[in-house]
A = this chain, B = another copy of it.
Amino acid sequence: MSSTRDIDALIELMAKLPGLGPRSARRAVLHLIRKRALLLTPLSDLMQTVAVTARECLNCGNVGTADVCDICTSEKRANGELCVVEDVADLWAMERSGVFKGRYHVLGGTLSALDAIGPQELRIPRLVDRIDTEGVSEVILALNATIDGQTTAHYIADQLEGRVRLTSLAQGVPIGGELDYLDDGTITAAMQARKSI
């Protein structure tokens, strides 16, 4: 290779990011070098900052820069509703929709016997604690509609049964969805949960 050691090493590291392969990493690095002042230097500085400040919220598992995140400290969001999600990315997706005004609990994955991930690894004991300490009246299970997600939802429902109101996200036709492109499972779920208009 004609490019020297540091540049090659940078390309190699960039290629490890999800969504980037060797070719797009090379393109990204050339772009960064061309936009040095506008992109490369600020990006490097911000990464340095985030590497020091980013941490998981001790209460809910959200990623932020404080020991306890904004949502957990905000009194406005202590409305008794607790939304359980698999991952921080799911929490961010919920927040973008702006529809939920309560607090979150990030499991950090799903139960998996194969990968030896049990309730202890998933912040489930912490979830059970929070029901009492935060006076939660409703737990909304917003887990992914995958086998693993639903298995985990069933386990959590078993643990919390009788202690709190349990709900899950509705399943059906997504907004803008065309029936012709939907799978059988979604159509079946939408038909079974049909509502009067």
Contact = CB atoms under 8 A, between A and B. Distances in A.
Closest 7 CB pairs of A and B: A44-B47, A19-B24, A4-B65, A17-B28, A10-B46, A44-B48, A40-B51
A95 interface: yes
B64 A2 contact: yes
A186 to B, nearest CB: 22
B33 A13 contact: no
Nearest to A25: B19
- Please state the number of chain copies in the assembly: 2
Majority SS of interface residues in chain A? helix
A197 interface: no
A66 interface: yes
B16 A24 contact: no
Given A27-B89, A39-B16, A6 B44 contact: no
